C-alpha cells in the first residue's frame, strides 16, 4: 500500500470533503482522482525543496483554453518524472473544473514536440523505480485518451516514443513540415510502449507492424496520410491556429458543466473544421513514402505473426530484386532481435484489446523489459555513447512464441499492482478511438467499395465515383482525394472495362 508523507496528508486534509474523500484509505489510493491529487501534492512538496525543475513544463490559462508547453528544449522536451507528475496533477484539476473547454499540448524550442522519455536517466535506478516511471507515464497517456475535454496536440518537430504517447491518444494531432514521427525503441533494446500496440495496430494495413519493428519514421505530410496526424498545417500558421481555437473555446453554449457527449461531439466538429481552414495544399509532385509498391511490400511481408516469417518473406522479395525489402532487412539487422519480437506481439495484442487493457499490459511488459540486459546495452550504446552501428546484443532472441507467452499471455506482475489500479480507474475505456478527425482509413474505403458500410449502394462503382463520395463526406479536407485515389490504385481492380467498375482485391 502506498504511504503518504506528512506534507501530503496535510494538503489532502484541506480538500473539499466529498464522498470520495470519505472513502477508506485503500479505496482512495486506488481512485484515479485521488491518485492525481497525490501526484500534485508530491510535486508541490518536491518543488518547495528544489528537487525538480520548476520550469520543465509551462501551464498557461487564457479564457477557457489551457496550454501545456513541454519546456526542455535542450533535451528535445524529453519526458522525465517531474514533467509527468505535473501534467497529471494539472490535467486532473482542469478535468474537475467548469472553466476549461480546450487543452493545447505543445513543445518549446521549435525543434521537437517531445523526443520521448529520458531513458538514459533510467539506467542508474532500480528496475522497480524505472517501472514506476513507466507506470505513471502510461496513466498520463490514458488520462489524455479518456479526457472529457478536447485536447489538441501540436506535433511540430520531433515526436518519438513517449512523445507519441502524449500525442497519439489525443483526438486532434496537428503535423507540420517539421514533424518526424517514430517509435524507435527496438534500436535501444526496448519496445514500442505508451499504448503503441493500440494506436499502431489501427494504422492502415500492416504499417503499424512495420513501424513497430523497424522504428522507421513518418516525416511531415506522410504522418498525416498514414493517420498518425489528423491534420497538416504549415508551421508558420500554428500561432494563428492556436488563436482561432482559443476563440472557439471561449463560448460555452455547446458544453454543459458535465460536458455531455452530444455537446462534446459538436465542439469536436467545430474544432475539426477550424483546423481544416489552415491546412496546407499538397506540394506538386508529392508521393507518399509508404504507398505504391512499398505499401504493397509492407502489407505482404508484415502480415505474419512472427518476426521469423517476416524476415523470410522479406528475403524472398529481396532475392527477387525488391530494393525496399533489402533495405528493410538491413534496418532490422541493427535492431534488438528480442525487442523486435516484443514490438510485433505488442501490435498484435493491441489490435484485440481495449485501451486500458493495452496500457496495463504495457506496465507489465516495460517492467520486464528494463530488467533485460538488452535495455542497458541498447541505451548505453545508442543514447549515452551515441554510436550508430549494431549494438552487441547479448541475449539470444527468444522465439516469437516464447515472447508472446512471457510478455503477453502471462499474468500481470503483482509487483506493479499500484500502477495497474489507477489505469483501471480511468473514467472511460474503448476499443476504437471515439473521434475520427483524420483522413479516411483503408478499412473505411474497403468497406464502402465492398458494400459493407451503411452508406454503400448495391452496385459496383468507378474509382472516380468512390473518390467523389469521400471528398464530399470529408468536406474537401486536404489529402482525401490523394489518399483514396492511392488506395484504390493499389487495392482495387477493374472488373468491367467497359464501365470502369472496380472491386476490392
Which residue matches cell numbers 472529457?
148
| pLDDT at position 50 over 90 | no
Which phi and psi angles does 174 have, rounded to 5°? -100, 115
Mean pLDDT (the chain, rounded) = 88
What is the helix (H) or strand (E) element at residue 461, kind and residue range? strand 461-462
pLDDT for residue 255: 61
| 427 a catalytic residue | no
pLDDT at 6 over 90: no
So what's the pLDDT on residue 240? 97
Asked if 239 and 245 count as a contact pair (C-beta separation under 8 A), the reply is no
Q: What percent of the chain lies above the pLDDT cut of 70?
A: 88
Res 132 pLDDT > 50: yes
Q: Which of 89, 107, 116, 117 is catalytic?
A: 117
Task: Tell me the C-alpha distance between 91 and 246, whole Å.
Answer: 18
Q: What pLDDT, on the 0 to 100 scale, is given for residue 263?
A: 73
Q: What is the pLDDT of residue 266?
A: 85
- Residue predicted with more confidence, 253 or 416: 416
pLDDT of residue 118: 86
What value does the mean pLDDT take over residues 466-481?
A: 97
Residue 499 contacts residue 459 (beta carbons within 8 Å): no
Query: Catalytic one among 56, 185, 204, 357?
Result: 185
> What pLDDT is attached to residue 264?
80
- Is the per-residue pLDDT at 59 higher than 80? yes
Span 13-27, average pLDDT: 30
- pLDDT confidence of 394, banded at 50, 70, 90? confident
Lowest mean pLDDT across 14-18, 107-111, 214-218: 14-18
Reported as a pLDDT band with limits 50, 70 and 90, residue 31 is very low
The residue from 142, 162, 208, 378 that is catalytic is 162
The predicted pLDDT at position 254 comes to 63
Of 40 and 354, which is predicted with more confidence?
Answer: 354
Position 250 confidence tier, pLDDT thresholds 50, 70, 90: confident
The stretch 253-258 carries a mean pLDDT of 57
Per-residue pLDDT tens over the stretch 281-335: 899 999 999 999 999 999 999 999 999 999 999 999 999 999 999 999 999 999 9
- Give the global pTM: 0.88
What pLDDT, on the 0 to 100 scale, is given for residue 5?
32
pLDDT(258) > 70: no
pLDDT digits (tens, 9 = 90+) for 328-374: 999 999 999 999 999 999 999 999 999 999 999 999 999 999 999 99
The full set of domains in the chain, from first to last, is 52-282+298-438 (3.90.226.10), 442-504 (no CATH)
Give per-residue pLDDT as tens, 195-206. 999 999 999 999
Overall average pLDDT of the 130-143 stretch = 95
- What 3 state SS string does 188-221 have? HCCCCCCCHHHHHCCCCCCHHHHHHHHCCCEECH
Q: State the pLDDT at residue 30.
A: 39
Would you say residue 34 has pLDDT above 50? no
Query: 72-97 burial, b if ≥16 CB within 10 A, otherwise e?
Result: beebbbbbbbbbbbbbbbbbbbbbee
Q: State the pLDDT at residue 261.
A: 67
* pLDDT exceeds 90 at position 11: no
With DSSP H G I counted as helix, E B as strand and the rest as coil, what are the percentages for the chain, rounded to 5? 55, 10, 35
Mean pLDDT of 207-225: 98
117 is known as an active-site residue: yes
Catalytic residue among 85, 137, 156, 193: 193
Amino acid at each position: 500500500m502506498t504511504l503518504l508523507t506528512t506534507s501530503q496528508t496535510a494538503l489532502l486534509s484541506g480538500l473539499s470533503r466529498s464522498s470520495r474523500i470519505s472513502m477508506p484509505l485503500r479505496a482512495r489510493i486506488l481512485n484515479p482522482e485521488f491518485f492525481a491529487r497525490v501526484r500534485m501534492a508530491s510535486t508541490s512538496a518536491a518543488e518547495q525543496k528544489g528537487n525538480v525543475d520548476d520550469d520543465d513544463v509551462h501551464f498557461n490559462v487564457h479564457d477557457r483554453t489551457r496550454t501545456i508547453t513541454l519546456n526542455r528544449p535542450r533535451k528535445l522536451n524529453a519526458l522525465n518524472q517531474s514533467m509527468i507528475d505535473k501534467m497529471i496533477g494539472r490535467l486532473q484539476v482542469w478535468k474537475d473544473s467548469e472553466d476549461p473547454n480546450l487543452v493545447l499540448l505543445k513543445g518549446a524550442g521549435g525543434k521537437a514536440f517531445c523526443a520521448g522519455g529520458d531513458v538514459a536517466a533510467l539506467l542508474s535506478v532500480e528496475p522497480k523505480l524505472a517501472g514506476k516511471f513507466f507506470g505513471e507515464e502510461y496513466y498520463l497517456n490514458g488520462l489524455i485518451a479518456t479526457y472529457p475535454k478536447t485536447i489538441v496536440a501540436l506535433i511540430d518537430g520531433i515526436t518519438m516514443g513517449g512523445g507519441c504517447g502524449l500525442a497519439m491518444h489525443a483526438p486532434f494531432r496537428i503535423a507540420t513540415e517539421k514533424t518526424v514521427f517514430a517509435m524507435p525503441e527496438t534500436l535501444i533494446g526496448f519496445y514500442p510502449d505508451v499504448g503503441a500496440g493500440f494506436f499502431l495496430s489501427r494504422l492502415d494495413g500492416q504499417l503499424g507492424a512495420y513501424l513497430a519493428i523497424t522504428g522507421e519514421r513518418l516525416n511531415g505530410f506522410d504522418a498525416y496520410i498514414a493517420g498518425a496526424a489528423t491534420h497538416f498545417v504549415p508551421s508558420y500558421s500554428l500561432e494563428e491556429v492556436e488563436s482561432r481555437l482559443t476563440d472557439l473555446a471561449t463560448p460555452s453554449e455547446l458544453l454543459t458543466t458535465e460536458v455531455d457527449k452530444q455537446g462534446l461531439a459538436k465542439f469536436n466538429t467545430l474544432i475539426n473544421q477550424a483546423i481544416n481552414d489552415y491546412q496546407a495544399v499538397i506540394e506538386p509532385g508529392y508521393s507518399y513514402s509508404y504507398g505504391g509498391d512499398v505499401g504493397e511490400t509492407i502489407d505482404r511481408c508484415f502480415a505474419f505473426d512472427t518476426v521469423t516469417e517476416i524476415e523470410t518473406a522479406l528475403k524472398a522479395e529481396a532475392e527477387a530484386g525488391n530494393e525496399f525489402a533489402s533495405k528493410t532487412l538491413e534496418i532490422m539487422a541493427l535492431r534488438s532481435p528480442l525487442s523486435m519480437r516484443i514490438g510485433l506481439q505488442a501490435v498484435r495484442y493491441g489490435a484485440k484489446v481495449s485501451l486500458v487493457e493495452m496500457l496495463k499490459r504495457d506496465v507489465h511488459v516495460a517492467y520486464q523489459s528494463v530488467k533485460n540486459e538488452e535495455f542497458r546495452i541498447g541505451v548505453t550504446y545508442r543514447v549515452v555513447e551515441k554510436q550508430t552501428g549494431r549494438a552487441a546484443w547479448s541475449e539470444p532472441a527468444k522465439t516469437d512464441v516464447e515472447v508472446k507467452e512471457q510478455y503477453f499471455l502471462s499474468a500481470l506482475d503483482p509487483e506493479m499492482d499500484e500502477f495497474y489500479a489507477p489505469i483501471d480507474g480511468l473514467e472511460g475505456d474503448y476499443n476504437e478511438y471515439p473521434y475520427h478527425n483524420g483522413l479516411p482509413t483503408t478499412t473505411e474505403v474497403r468497406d464502402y467499395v465492398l458494400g459493407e458500410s451503411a452508406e454503400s449502394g448495391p452496385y459496383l462503382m468507378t474509382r472516380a465515383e468512390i473518390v467523389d463520395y469521400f471528398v464530399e463526406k470529408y468536406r474537401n479536407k486536404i489529402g482525401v482525394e490523394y489518399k483514396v485515389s492511392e488506395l484504390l490504385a493499389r487495392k482495387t481492380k477493374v472488373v468491367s472495362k467497359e464501365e470502369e467498375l472496380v472491386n476490392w482485391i
